[in-house]
Chains A and B, each alone.
Chain A
Amino acid sequence: MSKKRWWQGLGLLLVVGLGLFAYQTREVSHAGESITAVGSTALQPLVEAAGEQYTGEHLGTFVNVQGGGTGTGLSQIQEGAVQIGNSDLFAGEQKGIRSQELVDHRVAVVGITPIVNKKAGVDHLTTAQLIQVFTGKVTNWREVGGKNLPIVLVNRAQGSGTRATFEQFGLAGHQSKTAQEQDSSGMVRQIVATTPGAISYVAFSYADKTVQAITLNGVAPTEANVITNHWKIWSYEHLYTKGQPTGLTKNFIRYIQSPAVQKTLVRQLGYLSPDQMRVNRDVHGQITKLEGAE
């Protein structure tokens, strides 16, 4: 009997303890000192790093960052379930999103480059050739100046921001042929690096020595070329809020957009800063030159 009592007492203690713990954490996370940002995995590293720095400098605040994909980010912010939705795309480009309710905050620019397996023997292509390769009109590298090796297409998943940007600006709006799909850039790079004749596309920061980045129409995939829009395959990284941001959300977005973060963290992590850009691109892809840019 006493043993049973003992167990009951322990159980009660556990319940009370858990309750107290839950109450404590509830206090912290509902006091307006915590925000959640959800969405694009391409933007996640930047928001995470900036969130860590920000909460380190402002004690008592908490920035919770989750992945899930651009679609998830935009639908969650539209529903008001989170404070910030991370997106690789303009909200107006994503189907099912009422973009007029959302406010766009651009925090970075990402250049995207086609990458091929080194055995293909190709390091430059024209846009027309790239379209032929991705629409399946050309199936052997020999036909575009490479070795006699069949072309293996590797796509990102449908609806991925990188894929949407690549198809819009790299393939001039053409849809890629249905081929194998991977859901992360790291995986894509690994497959391209190990599969003879593979071609895909990744953000600049993923294009390392294991793969061959492609010079397109004589323009090399470099940051300098993105800034001037000579390299056309790039996109803004957006933080979306529902209505104008307030409180911690507003402060945090301002912090990411501040020169201090833009000049350090953004560039260290392989993104470009929107402040560097000498051109502006709107949701329809219209380019305007900017005066007095850095």
Chain B
Amino acid sequence: MKSTEQLEQQLKRHSKAAKLEVWGKVVSFSALLLIVAVVVAIIGFVASKGLATFFSNHVSLWDFLSGKSWNPGITDAHGKPEVGALPMIVGSFLITILSALVATPFAIGTAVFMNEISPNKGAKILQPVTELLVGIPSVVYGFIGLSVIVPVTRTLFGGSGFGILSGTCVLFVMILPTVTSMSVDALRAVPRYYREASLALGATQWQTIYKVVLRAATPGMMTAVVFGMARAFGEALAVQMVIGNAALMPGSLVDPASTLTSVLTTGIGNTVMGSLQNNALWSLALVLLLMSLIFNLIIRLIGRKGRLQ
């Protein structure tokens, strides 16, 4: 009689494994909760500060997005503060798109070599090299840009050497490894029988790569490029060191220009919390945040489309 009671108790009691299961769930769920809370808090904070420019300082959103003169400390002839962010927005997009345009062919070429043409050498040499490039801190890239690329641009094109061209050169090297390694993943995801079928039909290796593998990997490649663009858009330090930080509409690629991030990093220490100058910088940060959100959405959209195919 007693033994059945004991058995019942034993069976009804949570086993050690069950307890561990609950514990595991609690830990992972609280980790998730913490991350979500941090993200929400950051978005909330940036939004509350960034929107203050429009609500408490009564700057019109249109003036902010289309104005060409950035001088938050000064009011213009109509008594409105000069917070036109267009030069920075244009600068950021220009430098992002240009660096992606330059980096993409190189990245795809490297990826094709690593995955299709010479997988052995690719795995032994190129893989570690690209991984190394990812690990170099951005300040090092900026420093190299400042001491090598800026003087070269200066001697070739005149002016001060600071500008979108120098920024593009630095960002090209910075996003190349990201785009390359993601392109490699995209190529790897192409099933082997695609290649085999193509080769069996008598296609050459180049025909297979060009007409089959690259076509099949296009969504993945696009994701890689957008990822690279997101990184370029958000890069602050290296760009700030070589772009010259002039809040002017970029007239040419070798004139000093500025990006959202470069204005933020140079300006934030010289403003007082709660003042218009400070709020205007937060508005720039809000634009940055929204843009990275949009980049993420694009990546998801591409991913979904790729799966449907």
- Chain B residues within 8 Å of chain A by Cβ, number: 34
**Given the complex, which residues of B lie within 8 Å of A69, measured CB to CB?**
268-270
Q: State in angstroms the CA–CA spacing of A89 and B20 once bound together.
A: 61
Whether the Cβ atoms of B270 and A160 lie closer than 8 Å is yes
- What residue in chain B is nearest A160 (Cβ atoms)? B270
Within 8 Å of chain A (Cβ to Cβ): is B137? no
Whether the Cβ atoms of A158 and B72 lie closer than 8 Å is yes
Within 8 Å of chain B (Cβ to Cβ): is A24? no
Q: State in angstroms the CA–CA spacing of A72 and B273 once bound together.
A: 8
Whether the Cβ atoms of A159 and B277 lie closer than 8 Å is yes
Q: State in angstroms the CA–CA spacing of A198 and B160 once bound together.
A: 8
Within 8 Å of chain B (Cβ to Cβ): is A212? no
Q: State in angstroms the CA–CA spacing of A69 and B273 once bound together.
A: 12
Q: State in angstroms the CA–CA spacing of A179 and B160 once bound together.
A: 11
Find A152's partner among B160, B265, B272, B278 (CB 8 Å cutoff): B160
**Given the complex, which residues of B lie within 8 Å of A143, measured CB to CB?**
none
Among B116-124, B174-182, B241-249, the stretch in contact with A: B241-249
Whether the Cβ atoms of A96 and B274 lie closer than 8 Å is yes
Contact flag A191-B160 (CB < 8 Å), given A159-B271, A178-B246, A178-B248: yes
Within 8 Å of chain A (Cβ to Cβ): is B275? yes
Whether the Cβ atoms of A181 and B71 lie closer than 8 Å is no
Q: State in angstroms the CA–CA spacing of A70 and B267 once bound together.
A: 11
CB interface residues, A 251-268, toward B, < 8 Å: none
Whether the Cβ atoms of B270 and A159 lie closer than 8 Å is yes
Contact flag A175-B162 (CB < 8 Å), given A71-B269, A97-B272: no
Whether the Cβ atoms of B272 and A181 lie closer than 8 Å is no
**Given the complex, which residues of B lie within 8 Å of A71, measured CB to CB?**
269-272, 277-278
CB proximity of B75 to chain A, nearest CB, Å = 11
**Given the complex, which residues of B lie within 8 Å of A183, measured CB to CB?**
245, 265-266, 269
Contact flag A68-B160 (CB < 8 Å), given A158-B71, A179-B256, A195-B154: no
Find B256's partner among A95, A150, A180 (CB 8 Å cutoff): A180
**Given the complex, which residues of B lie within 8 Å of A68, measured CB to CB?**
269
CB interface residues, B 98-152, toward A, < 8 Å: 151
Q: State in angstroms the CA–CA spacing of A150 and B248 once bound together.
A: 18
CB interface residues, A 19-69, toward B, < 8 Å: 67-69
- SS of A interface (majority): mixed
Within 8 Å of chain A (Cβ to Cβ): is B69? yes
CB interface residues, A 195-226, toward B, < 8 Å: 195, 198
Within 8 Å of chain B (Cβ to Cβ): is A75? yes
Q: State in angstroms the CA–CA spacing of A13 and B271 once bound together.
A: 45
Find B272's partner among A95, A157, A175, A180 (CB 8 Å cutoff): A95
Contact flag A181-B246 (CB < 8 Å), given A158-B72, A158-B73, A159-B73: yes
**Given the complex, which residues of A lie within 8 Å of B277, measured CB to CB?**
71, 95-96, 158-159
Within 8 Å of chain B (Cβ to Cβ): is A294? no
CB proximity of B226 to chain A, nearest CB, Å = 30
- What residue in chain A is nearest B245 (Cβ atoms)? A181
**Given the complex, which residues of B lie within 8 Å of A132, measured CB to CB?**
none
Whether the Cβ atoms of A157 and B267 lie closer than 8 Å is yes
Within 8 Å of chain A (Cβ to Cβ): is B276? yes
Within 8 Å of chain A (Cβ to Cβ): is B161? yes
Contact flag A181-B154 (CB < 8 Å), given A75-B273, A95-B73, A195-B161: no
> Chain B residues in contact with chain A, CB under 8 A?
69-74, 151, 154, 158-162, 244-248, 256, 258, 265-278
> Chain A residues in contact with chain B, CB under 8 A?
67-72, 74-75, 78-79, 94-97, 150, 152, 154, 157-160, 175, 178-183, 191, 194-195, 198
3 shortest A-B CB distances, which residue pairs?
A69-B269, A159-B270, A96-B275
